[in-house]
Structure 1
Amino acid sequence: VELKHKGVPSAGLQQLEGVDPAGEDARHIWDRALPLWELLDEEETRTVKATFGISKVSDSTLKRFGVRYLRTARTLVFPWFNPRGTGLKGLKLLGAECQGDTVLYVENTLPRPSAYHNLFGLPLIGRRDTEVVLTGRELDTLALHQATGFACLQLACLLPRGVTCLPPVLLPYLEQFKRITLWLGEPRKLNPKRCSLVRPGDQQPRPLEAFTRGMNLSKIVRSALPAGHKSIVSFRQLRDEVFGELANVEQVAGVKWARFPDLNKLLKGHRKGELTVFTGPTGSGKTTFISEYALDLCMQGVNTLWGSFEINNVRLAKIMLTQFAERRLEEQLEQFDQWADKFEDLPLYFMTFHGHQNIKAVIDTMLHAVYMYDISHVVIDNLQFMMGQEQLSVDRLAVQDYIVGAFRKFATDNGCHVTLVIHPRKEDEERELQTASIFGSAKASQEADNVLILQDRKLVTGPGKPCLQVSKNRFDGDVGVFPLEFSKVSLTFSAPSKGKARLKKVKEDNETPKKAPAGGSGASKKQ
């Protein structure tokens, strides 16, 4: 196959553009590394290629992609580029360790990327290219491009959370392509109608392995399956996901609450794609409880969007920061920056709406947040503020049913958990609430996967004792009630923990990389 691309421009390889002081190491390594196709010793070149499994990759291909070799570290050096510029933006260092018949690859990046949107192979993409193949490794890109002549990009460097979530900054660049083939994993955000997927298997291994085995890579790419949604599926298509759920019960159950272990016993966890309806008497602390309920999950990496229509965001953020620090910071202002810095790192976002809002504007904002920030939990406080923009002549119960249905559809279609706060009926607030106490028709409780009720049980001898009741649980049916302990100092309903221990745990959590969920695809989708 005659390759039509000219290759990486030498001018772009002479310097690292706009790097910080940490980039000096990358510049030094790039200057020391030798072009792999120009090593003086041919035997050394053969040995290096054999070590990395690229014996069949030609010198012309290596030259096109600008691959170099760092002798002192025995690593390949791949140049990274950015869609918004032509100069070199960083390096990927790839080492290989042979353990018997198995080769283990060790990767390092310089400088450490703050935004994962650099690409390997970018300069080889022409303006007239209408198709592109996205691979998971640089070595795969080399093999696939040489065997097919297709425009290829390597994306593993883009995806700190795996190949299921592309960063928004890359999306405009990919709009130029009419057909995108992913030889790596499941596509997200790329419009499945124009995506095809090479599914892993014995007949369709990674590009480099297929190339080494002499397989027809062009045929594999052309036979890639459409990634679009199917209206009808067979058990064969569901089989892997069913197995994943059976093999990964804990992960399928969802993210566990750290502050509410009793809630884990009943709901088992917080799952994507569900709708939770939450209610409680006026003045019982619904907003305060639900903020801690959401904060708990957010501290564990659940990207959260808050829609607080009853209280403003500054007051809500102050409540959540107090719950986060578990102390009255207004009495310890010298500690504010310490806790605020930690709190700022949480994947937490706020809608700027306040007061009565139109449901369409709210849903549009939620869709944007899911697309841009990978939001997986939306809190709406509360439903009654969604109904103020409707005409008075319209049946209010019908309006509420429509709004509940809209949130239900949003949660299902976007794999995002929605927690919806709804006030109870006024006439029910003087007695213990039930599922039927939720304001409006029965649609809210019918559509909900979970119904939580903050009970404020009145005591003859003193103040009421708060407790949380799970009155509906579609996941496995477990329901029940457990007591809560409210602290005015920390504004929490959970058992208090020692401040220093909490700060230490938060620091450790922030510094420890999150591990990808183990198991089949079904588990990762349901988590």
Structure 2
Amino acid sequence: MHVKNRAAYLPVNHFVNKPFAMAKHDRPWKCAKRSVIFSSTANSPYNNESFSEKINKVRVSLVQACIANINKVDTMMNGYSGSSDEEAASDSPKTVVHTVWNQSIPINQMSLPKLTRLRQLLSLRHIQDSTFAKYNVRATANGDGLIFPRYTDRVERVGVRQLKPSGLKIFRLTENRNQPGIIEETIPDSSTYVGFFGYHLVKSVDVETVLLFNEADALSVHQAAGKVALAVHDQYGPFQNQLLSLLTELIHVIIWPPPEKYNRGKLLAKSLTSTNCHLISPASCKNMRAADALALPGKGRQLITGVIKACERVEEKSLSTFDKLKELTKEYYYGYGSVSGICKWSRFSALNNYLKGFRLGELTLIGGGSACGKKTFLAEYALDICCQNVPTLWCCLELPVGRLTATLVEQFSKDAFFEENTNQRSFDYWYEEISRLPMYFAKFDKVGFTKLKDIVEVIDRLAASKEVQHIVIDDVTALQEWTLAKNGYDLNLIFSDLRRLAQNRNCHITGSMLLSKFQNSKENNNADTLQQNAVNMQAMKEADNVLVICTKKLAQDITDVEHENFLQIWKTRRGGDLVLSNYIEMNFNRMTKCYTLTVGDRALPEGTWRLCILPLVLVAVISIVVNQLYVPLPDRFAEREKMQVIETVARVLYMYPGKWLELFSTKWQLCWTRLVLNSLAWLCSYAYRSTEPQNVHIHTIMLDDVAARVYIPDKVDTDAAIVYIHGGGFVLLNVDSYDLITRHLAKLTNMITVSIEYRLAPEHKFPAAIDDCERAIVYFLRHAHKLYSINSDKVVLVGDSAGGNLAAVVTQRLLLIYPVVQFVDFMTPSYQMAYRLYGRTALPDPESIVRWMLVYLGLDVEHVPKVLRSDHVDPIRQLQLLQAVQHDQLPPEFLDPSYYKKPPPKLNNTESSEAMHQVQSYLLDWQVSPLLQQDMSDLPKALVLTCEFDPLRDEGYFYVHRLRQAGVNASWIHYNTGFHAMLNIHNEVPLGRQAIQDVATFIRHNLS
């Protein structure tokens, strides 16, 4: 059956390596006359109007459009879309600006007396005409004023020669001849942001940009110094956010305000502290504007250049840079007492490994339960530091001073004076020795009523004669502030004040406090316990170092008083590791009242080594599996790291199980591969639909007993449509698998898209798929397009991979994406590269392509190795067939010698079995190898997309070459890092989204 009028099909290649061509039907139903993409609907059999009537209507419409839009033609030529009739009729600010600007005249058409008077009044006497022209300064329509345009965009960014201004500033001469003056007018008003005067000249390579508050000053700076100068419109109040956002894009801004507006310029400079901003002060410019400086005879240019060089950097006092903080940062690491402290512990050397040293400006808390020896340890802790000439002040809020000094003397001498021992030295000697230490005692009589400010007063009195570096508080909870605290906020203030005191006085504060939580007794969850836990939390928050003495009883009998003490380090702000277990043992000598810290071995609990065996075994197994699974992808592969993971997962899910199932039956292998691939495709589509707004409606229809899915966007703005034939090697994928691509293509083009569900092999062998596609397309062109108001002359046929082959077979007017177009040569450079670089991966490789092709043709897959060796091509036919796939036609970069080796000519036929004769019978069938089509001269212009890492890359280029030889206007886009099927996962591969965008752009361009 013949079709009187054909649809014009646009060829475009599927994801990345299929020719994109439009051609004449080579089927029995092709029409006698050629159809053009933009063909008139007068030739359509569905149009009842005559051709002459339609032409008359078009002529009348064109005349009416020209009359109604005569004032916006210039705007459209400059890259701006014209407004509607209603907008043109309104007095909107944009319309007024464009009207005044379009009616303006060049300044050389003004009367000379008026122009001279304006130059004098506006300080423009020394401005050259070329400078005016560069800044697009024009005259009003009646020649009584000058117009200074303002812009919000750049010529470099928009790419047009002339930009339309977004605002105008007009200076007109008054009509009073006795006292001539200037009337200033701003369109729109000053409250509306309209950009800068001269902003259209800004380029991304401009290093310095001068910002001024007057148009005359901007013209003077540009003429004298050759720098881009902008004039900003000054208004009261803060600067507009749009203005500041444009200025932050500039590399280096120099602000030159008039002397009377210096404070205004200073405010603008502070608003631009994020950029490299400089300000010119009145002293630097000698209280002159730029226009006044240019008027100085003989030295105006030199003066302006010198003033710009003398600009001062604007810096915010509260902001700093790395350059300023270098010495401070260096002091933190290498300064005196920064990290290692001003001294180390000698008696408790174990603390040096964790606290690193005794540092000034820190707060250290030593806590523990009741009667755990925390104050005795605190005394020896402070004595150890004082013995290294660190001035120490004891604040005895609870502990009697006499008892404290007695304990210190015993700890210092390490002798027990109360025992009779003839060998021990006298008390007087040791007391005289300890009195030489720089240690001072402050006694406060009223326990619980001592304020923190009282301690500060004592420190201030000692500071006049003695420098105090270590303050020891025997009980922090004895402060009056602690007694009066009502909640956790008040407790937090106490610790924060102590830490602030240490930082401001450059000293170290050490205090002890009762932490009932750390006692080894079982406590009830009462109010007192909860309050104590809150105290512990505040102490941990503000303190720099927290040392906790924990007690462990040696017997279960509660009457047994023997116990062990352990020191735990719960926090160290600048130190090393924390110790949260019984790791540092405290051995107490009752005779000398001294402590010895013993660091024990961190032995693993009994039986822990058995638990380590399982993780080690798992690590070994995982390492072996990863080593076997890792197959490196090429370095230039798009999204290589991400694709490395995706490819490995795909290989584990369907490739390895498929090879194992192949041992039993090819049918089982095919079922598993279909299940996995379709499931993965459905998951990708579901993820896309759940994250992206879906503005597409889906219908399922029957086209002459062939199922099809129709995608209808919400905003359909054209009567064109897309018919999509999915890929999948003729045997694997279906319409559901391509839902992600067709849905995205419909949204990008705003076109109705139809996806055909043709029958798959091996259940339905060749040419069942071709017959289904042919019947569905013919039915759609005859009847179904009316349901969706589609112009049958604007239908695009799209096919990818195997779908590209079907599209090329069904019609020579096609859109192809890396299609299979030949079954002759599997030794092309792209096939050889696939063998070498990613033959072991889950990506489409020559073996899988040939396998599914044989299944599609209904042939035995045992012939795959023979076909790959080209044993199916006899020497007689080889020279004839290989004319279409000559390797020398490929670009030089495709013939990389690192993986390509030119195959030798075939001398004899190595296989003459009946099965191979069946393979050879398909060689010259254009329905299998569309590349062998003899006549391609009538094909419309085509777009071919190919990608580097695709076995079908060379076939796409061969198709382009054949089209160009036949005189077809064929375009070619090659993605150097792309790979086959990257459009199926375009959510993860940006290059795949770009390829779909290129296809959509081509379609819209040719069907608009």
TM-score range normalised by the length of the shorter chain: 0.3 to 0.5
Higher RCO structure (Cα 8 Å, ≥6 apart): 2
Q: Compare CA radii of gyration and give the structure with the larger one.
A: 2
